[in-house]
Structure 1
Amino acid sequence: MNTLRSEQLSKRLYWAMSIVIFCLLLICIPLIVNSSQKFTQSYRTYYQLEALRDLADLANKISRERGPANMLMISSADEFKQKQEMLLEYRAKVDDQLEHTAQQLKESGFNELSQQIYTVLKPSLEYGRQQVDAYVALPYDERNAAQLDTSILAMFQVWDNSRRLLKSLVIESDVSSSKIAHFVSQILLLADLRDQAGRVVSNITAPVTFGETIPEQNRNRSLQTQYRVRYLWDLIDTVQPKEDKTPEFIKLHQDIKKYFIDQGIPLAASLIEDSLQHRPYHLTAMQISEMIGDHFAKVVDMQSYLLQYSHDVAQKEMRSNLKYLIGTIVISLISLMTAISSMVFARRHIFLPLIHARKILFDLSSSAKTDSSALQSLSKDNSDSLFAGIKKLQQMLQQRDALEFRLKNIAHSDPLTGLSNRFALDEYIRFLEQSPSQFSQTCLMIIDIDHFKQVNDQYGHIVGDEIIQLVAQCLKSNVRTSDLLVRYGGDEFLVLIENIELENALQIAEKICREIEAASIQNKAGERIQVSVSIGVAVGASSWVNLFTQADKALFGAKAKGRNAVAEA
């Protein structure tokens, strides 16, 4: 029967272990899946942001190509070759960026946008360049402001197409992170700011080049562009989260205001004012292009900073999610291994020994000599369980404890009076000596029965025992149960009281003395026998020896008074 029960316990243990492991898997697997999804999303976001960054860089380069193109178209014959080389060199950079961006978009999964670079943007760029080249091919005396403005507008159209691609990429990007999502909008806004800043001067370049009055259409385009620049400048600051407004961002944002909006735009505004007042332009088109380029650098710096900052944030988040994924996997594996090894250890070193101990315990409890009625009641309540064996042993231990208590009580008690004996006194003194300071507030009374030997010799030992019991009873009735009463010798008693003043101790001693004096016993002959006691009282000492010595001296003092008296140390 016991073997069968042990097998059942082992099976239950295996089931419990399996359930614990299954629960751990239910916790760990969702955590791993969730962290894996976060990493995958951040990984995809990082490369989508890279593609967005490349496309924004392409749009910026296309917008910037207007600079060397405009300078070539307004250059003099002496400057023509230098400006042409600058333009061709820059066009090569734009072409390289175009190929790189198309490839990056394709690798990031934006195949349709990659195709549109070749089907929409590249033909538009080629057309714009053809317009520039056609204007440059004209002899200087055949050129006019309308032709120059048409060529400039053709390059505007190229950037408009690149912006549409950029906007489509922003819409298609799956950026779920709140830390990165706003950077996507920032990139689009900065691309707009970069282009609008370049158009401030481009819109009036043609009439200024030929010294003509700026047409209303060109003037309105330039004024609208100036307004958009200010609006975009303010919007970028509004969109940027407070925690991402680093000192560098704040400085660059302020520099755009200081160097471009407050110093660069007024240059274009002053030329518009010259045109309205029909005054000769105080700057040439080449001069205004070169001067505005210096102020325009702050816009480019801001754009470069935010592109790099967004890249760093996306990279940091991707690495953080990767660390979290690895950490989750490692912790999950450690948890599972710890749980499995702990349960194997518990089974081998705890449960199996306990099952074995149960059998031994049951065998011991079954073979033990216990009360038959107790065994019968336990057998009705799952007597073959570990707890049944424990209950049986518990009964045995209770019986042993009761016997031990009785033996200990006999060893510590005086059989005649029921008071503590000298063995109990020795244990109490050892306890007090652990903290010697307790003796300073402890009272010791030494009580001696007056002329006890004479009474004992005259009336016999039985009467003597009754007198001792009488004194013991008086002592019990006058002290607390927490105080220690000791039969120290044949006719001597000790009373130890903690935390008491001398005055109160003397009052108790006097009361004991008077009660014993008033009490009496009757012998078989009908005689009333009265006794008295002498009490020596001492309170406070540095040690037990000193306390006992003081009380003993006080007892001699009480006897010197004629007995039946109380004396203090």
Structure 2
Amino acid sequence: MNSKRNNELGYPESGKTASIETSIRYRLFLFLFILILSFLIISLPQVFSSYQQLQQSHRGFIEIKLLETLTDTANKISRERAFANQLMASPPELMTQKRRQLNEYRLQVDASLQQTIRLLNDNEQQQVAQVVSVDIQSRLEVARHVVDQYVNQPLAHKSYQQYDHAIRGMFSAWDSCREALKKLLISSSQEDDGLSRNMTLILLVSDLRDQSGRVVSNIIAPVSFSIQIPDDNRARSLQTQHQAIYLWKLIDTLQPDHTRTPEYLHLYQQVKTQFLDEGIELVSTLLRESDQHRAYSLSAISLTEQIVSKFNSIVALQNYLVQTSLAQAEQQEYAAWQKFILTVLISIFSLLVAGLTLRYIQRYILLPLMEARESILALSLPQSYGQENRKKKRFKGEFAELFAAIAKLKRLLSQKDALEFQLRNIAHTDTLTGVANRQALEAYFIALEQEPWKWSDLCLMIIDIDYFKQINDQYGHMVGDQVIQRIADQLQQHVDVSDLIVRYGGDEFLILIEDIAAEDALQLAEKISKSIYTLCIAPDISTSVSIGLAVGARNWLTLFQNADQALLRAKAKGKNRVEG
């Protein structure tokens, strides 16, 4: 009777009421589950992202430590040249002492190499470790063997050429160090502009340290034998001077103004004073004494001892950059650690709030709601259901917007590319004249192998300066260098930018012109010859060149032989001629 009356009044039946209660309970729990899941969706990516940043900052610190270790080893290998120079230049009474010092220092270098290899392998830098364990160690072993072989020879059998060859072997060992440093820099996962720039600066300062040593090492052999410095040694010494000065300016250019602390400016000024002003002047003095055929004011041993002390400022600048980078990496790692801990705590707090909310709703909202009268429950169902659906849609939209805004940062490596491009240009350019060198010529042949049909119309001019030795003997090498520079300028004025001008030897140039007829090539050669003949370098100095040219051949050897024979004919006919 009561059930029937309830139906007449519009109340739900008891079975239907239980079904409605179950439906509400299910929907409320579903909403709360979605709420907790939403917290997880929001918090887990944040936790994961902050953890990745923590790992990234830790890798950055490790990479700086590895770079510090590798540059320290590279500096030790570079400094070994000083001990080798002192031993090779020592008189018999000092040989035992200098040999002991070199052997003790070699043990330090070897220990540093083994430690570097172990650290690289432990930190997943197997490729760099391979360069150190194979290339560097093998080249260093060969260079040491050459040094020992020279030292063990009788004094009467020693020559400055053998001395110089031993020194250049030590150069080769450090060249492998540069490759290892470049590989470590390229493999770096560092995305921070400041740390990436500092790593590049550390590499450049390490290169500056070695190039500075080569300024002296390139002339140490003739100084040790008290002979005039040959043109090749002079050119190599001057080239390394230019490279060292270029690296010094490049380091200052890459250092932003806001990082130029008083300590950095002090160290920078020390490098300029001790090495660029005082160290290079020692070498320049010896070069002038050689030109004037005077006795050298410094012995090889005293020169080495004085110049080594000038490198302390460069090493101090490198240590400053390393320590600054380590401090910056430590600060970033600490900040990343703080962010990670804060993200985890916020995520846990959010989940606790969601759980407490679930408990609160169940106890103070859901249970009282289930105990409400059937009529109120029936009236509230539609409204509650509509609000629940609207909230779910809103949350879904917020998540979609959030996930659309999350993305990974990309690494920035444009400065290294630019540095490598700049370093590659340095390697392919003759420092005295600004034209290409033999290394650029080899790169040109490699490119030409992809287009062999160009050999048929390729013109080669071999240009030799007439009586250049007399100019050097009469006026000195400085004037000789001016003659070479002025003639190089004339050559550049007569050919297109796309043509290749190569300084092939001390007073010999090559010009390579593609797609030109033999008649046009002869006319161009005559113009070049006449312009150089009328060139006024000094009132009492006249210049001329002999030119041999050839157009078209099957390969480079044939083309060069044809042009070289033409040059010989030009010289045989009195020089200042063009023969093709």
After TM superposition, the score normalised by the length of structure 1 is 0.61
Query: For residues 347 and 237 of structure 1, what CA distance do their matches in structure 2 show?
Result: 68
Question: Gaps (5+ residues) in structure 2?
Answer: 1-11, 385-580
Per the alignment, residue 187 of structure 2 pairs with 172
Q: Is the 8 A contact 1:209 1:285 kept in 2?
A: yes
2:30 is aligned, of 15, 20, 39, to: 15
CA RMSD in angstroms, aligned pairs only = 2.5
Instruction: Give the letter aligned to residue 40 of structure 2.
Output: L
Query: For residues 131 and 113 of structure 1, what CA distance do their matches in structure 2 show?
Result: 26
Q: Which has the larger radius of gyration?
A: 1
Task: Tell which has more relative contact order, 1 or 2 (C-alpha 8 A, sep 6+).
Answer: 2
In structure 2, do the counterparts of structure 1 residues 15 and 183 end up closer, same or farther at CA, with 3 Å as the change threshold? same
Residue 21 of structure 1, CA deviation: 0.8
1:203 is aligned, of 207, 218, 226, to: 218
Residue 114 (str. 1) matches residue 129 (str. 2)? yes
Per the alignment, residue 222 of structure 1 pairs with 237
Per the alignment, residue 39 of structure 2 pairs with 24
Residue 140 of structure 1, CA deviation: 3.1
Residue 127 of structure 1, CA deviation: 0.9
Residue 298 of structure 1, CA deviation: 0.2
Per the alignment, residue 293 of structure 1 pairs with 308
Per the alignment, residue 307 of structure 1 pairs with 322
In structure 2, do the counterparts of structure 1 residues 16 and 287 end up closer, same or farther at CA, with 3 Å as the change threshold? same
2:60 is aligned, of 22, 42, 45, to: 45
Per the alignment, residue 323 of structure 1 pairs with 338
Instruction: Give the letter aligned to residue 324 of structure 1.
Output: K
Instruction: Give the letter aligned to residue 17 of structure 1.
Output: L
Query: For residues 383 and 121 of structure 2, what CA distance do their matches in structure 1 show?
Result: 73
In structure 2, do the counterparts of structure 1 residues 383 and 94 end up closer, same or farther at CA, with 3 Å as the change threshold? closer
Q: Which moved more, 1:47-56 or 1:193-202?
A: 47-56
Q: How many residue pairs align between the two structures?
A: 369
Per the alignment, residue 182 of structure 1 pairs with 197
Per the alignment, residue 256 of structure 1 pairs with 271
Q: Deviations over 1:481-527 (max 9, x none)?
A: xxxxxxxxxxxxxxxxxxxxxxxxxxxxxxxxxxxxxxxxxxxxxxx
Residue 267 (str. 1) matches residue 282 (str. 2)? yes
Query: For residues 231 and 139 of structure 2, what CA distance do their matches in structure 1 show?
Result: 27
Residue 183 of structure 1, CA deviation: 2.3
**Helix, strand or coil: the match of 1:317?**
helix
2:51 is aligned, of 15, 27, 36, to: 36
Q: Is the 8 A contact 1:204 1:214 kept in 2?
A: yes
Residue 302 of structure 1, CA deviation: 0.9
Per the alignment, residue 158 of structure 1 pairs with 173
1:245 is aligned, of 254, 260, 263, to: 260
Per the alignment, residue 247 of structure 2 pairs with 232
**Helix, strand or coil: the match of 2:297?**
coil
**Helix, strand or coil: the match of 2:181?**
helix
Q: Is the 8 A contact 2:86 2:301 kept in 1?
A: yes
Residue 338 (str. 1) matches residue 373 (str. 2)? no
State how 1:492-531 maps to structure 2 within 5 Å.
Answer: none
Residue 102 of structure 1, CA deviation: 1.4
Residue 107 of structure 1, CA deviation: 1.6
In structure 2, do the counterparts of structure 1 residues 360 and 202 end up closer, same or farther at CA, with 3 Å as the change threshold? same
Residue 338 of structure 1, CA deviation: 1.7
Q: Is the 8 A contact 1:146 1:206 kept in 2?
A: yes
Residue 67 (str. 1) matches residue 82 (str. 2)? yes
Query: For residues 296 and 56 of structure 1, what CA distance do their matches in structure 2 show?
Result: 15
Residue 123 (str. 1) matches residue 138 (str. 2)? yes
Q: Is the 8 A contact 1:149 1:206 kept in 2?
A: yes
Instruction: Give the letter aligned to residue 219 of structure 1.
Output: R
Q: Is the 8 A contact 1:170 1:185 kept in 2?
A: yes
Q: Deviations over 1:157-195 (max 9, x none)?
A: 111122122222222232223232112212221121010
Q: Is the 8 A contact 2:131 2:176 kept in 1?
A: no
Query: For residues 387 and 50 of structure 1, what CA distance do their matches in structure 2 show?
Result: 64
Query: For residues 184 and 300 of structure 1, what CA distance do their matches in structure 2 show?
Result: 15
Instruction: Give the letter aligned to residue 232 of structure 2.
Output: Q
Residue 125 of structure 1, CA deviation: 0.7
Instruction: Give the letter aligned to residue 71 of structure 2.
Output: A
Residue 57 (str. 1) matches residue 72 (str. 2)? yes
**Helix, strand or coil: the match of 1:118?**
helix
State how 1:367-406 maps to structure 2 within 5 Å.
Answer: 383=379
**Helix, strand or coil: the match of 1:214?**
coil
2:106 is aligned, of 79, 91, 108, to: 91
**Helix, strand or coil: the match of 1:183?**
helix
Residue 147 (str. 1) matches residue 162 (str. 2)? yes
| Percent of residue pairs identical | 38
Q: Is the 8 A contact 2:195 2:328 kept in 1?
A: yes
Q: Is the 8 A contact 2:87 2:99 kept in 1?
A: yes
Query: For residues 157 and 22 of structure 2, what CA distance do their matches in structure 1 show?
Result: 109
Q: Is the 8 A contact 1:362 1:386 kept in 2?
A: no
State how 1:441-456 maps to structure 2 within 5 Å.
Answer: none
Q: Which moved more, 1:245-254 or 1:121-130?
A: 245-254
State how 1:356-371 maps to structure 2 within 5 Å.
Answer: 356=371, 359=373
Instruction: Give the letter aligned to residue 97 of structure 1.
Output: S
**Helix, strand or coil: the match of 1:175?**
coil
Residue 278 of structure 1, CA deviation: 1.8
In structure 2, do the counterparts of structure 1 residues 213 and 325 end up closer, same or farther at CA, with 3 Å as the change threshold? same
Residue 141 of structure 1, CA deviation: 3.7
After TM superposition, the score normalised by the length of structure 2 is 0.59
Question: Gaps (5+ residues) in structure 1?
Answer: 364-381, 389-569
Q: Deviations over 1:413-448 (max 9, x none)?
A: xxxxxxxxxxxxxxxxxxxxxxxxxxxxxxxxxxxx
Query: For residues 362 and 184 of structure 1, what CA distance do their matches in structure 2 show?
Result: 72
